Amino acid sequence: GVNLSGGQKLRVNLAQAVYQDKDVYLLDDPLSAVDVHVRKSLFNDVIGNNGLLKNKTRILVTHDTSVLPDVDLIVSMKDGKIDEMGSYNELLDKKGSFASFMEEHSTHKTSEVENEILSISRLNSRDSAKSELGDGDQLLLNAEKCADDEVEEKYRLTEDERMEIGGVHRFVYFNYVKRMGIPLFIASVIGFMAYVSFEAGGNIWLSKWSSDAFKNGTLNSSQTIWRLSIYGTFGLAQVITSILAGFLLVSGVAIASERYHRFMLDSVLKSPMSFFDSTPVGRIINRFTTDMEILDNQLYYQMEGWLNYIFSAIASFVIIGMNVPIFLACLLPLGLLYYLVLVRFFLL
């Protein structure tokens, strides 16, 4: 509660008092530390005759005259003693000190409205005068502002959010795979590997079929059915392995997200009060909303694309190497150059 303002502390105390469900409530000027609209809401919804405490005995100490017409009994104090007592209309009819006070207060509010109108014109003239300040005056204003900022920074409780810049450490990847479940991750990797293998095998089979027909110059219907059956088998295997690999990866991502969420929630619930004083609520909410949305949705598509691209590239290298063996000799220096460029321009 260190970061709470006076009005927020007052509302917390008032809520705690309401939860006590007592018969008599002594309210020592609870409306003085809040804004006008909050004051009206507190009185109407909690303290007043239509509020939560409407069936309780309430003794309210206040300087707010706007609530006086709605109370049952008014006790006017003067020099520490009871001066007048009665309902709002009764005290006005007496034309005593209470009536005089209310008349003065009404006149004072009228003058405040007039002063507010005058302050608007003065504010406009002040803005125009600021634009005519000299360099020395402007430097003085800047120095005062910097001094205020330094004082505010010195006594600020909230900490700036820390973030790491650069490549992701391998421990982060290993920790996520561990949260997924290592057997489930390995099974999904094997599934994507099988899917890409069947896709490459189907392409190789189709290429061989086309090459044989071009060399022989004839078409054998019995061989066509056999070759088509093999090609169809590759396609069916692709569908099955694609569904299986996707299901395994989705299951792993869901398990990892659930474990991360449970770990974060357990950590927040067990944190000391100093953590909530130094950490804004919005930052905590972002961890459970934006970050969890990335884990639940975006990360799956990133992993699926990454596995597909990796195994597709490996399959392409294997196929090219089978047809052009000299390519394998160039693969190592090209791979090293690619790695250096990746580290230099993208991972640092």
Same domain, 176 and 323: yes
Residues 200 and 336 reside in one and the same domain: yes
**230 shares its domain with 330:** yes
Q: Does 133 have pLDDT greater than 50?
A: no
- CATH number of 292's domain: 1.20.1560.10
183 and 106 in a common domain: no
Does residue 143 sit within a domain? no
**How high is the pLDDT of residue 192?**
93
Q: Supply the pLDDT for residue 128.
A: 52
80, 205: one domain: no
CA distances from 327 to 316, 319, 331 (A): 11, 10, 6
Residue 208 confidence (pLDDT): 79
Q: Are residues 99 and 224 in the same domain?
A: no
Enter the pTM of the model. 0.53
Whether residues 82 and 187 share a domain: the answer is: no
Lowest mean pLDDT segment, chosen from 41-45, 129-133, 258-262, 302-306: 129-133
Averaged pLDDT for residues 270-296: 85
Cα–Cα distance for residue pair 341/301, rounded to 1 Å: 25
Q: 339 falls in which pLDDT band (50, 70, 90)? A: confident
The string of pLDDT tens digits covering residues 62-96 is 888 888 888 889 888 888 888 888 888 888 888 88
Q: Are residues 341 and 246 in the same domain?
A: yes
Give me the phi and psi of 161, to 5 degrees please. Answer: -70, 130
Q: What is the DSSP string of 235-293?
A: HHHHHHHHHHHHHHHHHHHHHHHHHHHHHHHHHHHT--HHHHHHS-HHHHHHHHTHHHH
What is the number of domains present in the chain? 2
**Domain extent for 44:** 6-112
**Has residue 238 been placed in a domain?**
yes
Residue 106, domain CATH: 3.40.50.300
164 falls within a domain: no
The tens digit of pLDDT for each residue in 9-36 reads 888 888 898 898 889 999 888 888 788 8
309 in the same domain as 225: yes
pLDDT at 6: 73
Name the band, by pLDDT with cuts 50, 70 and 90, for residue 127: low
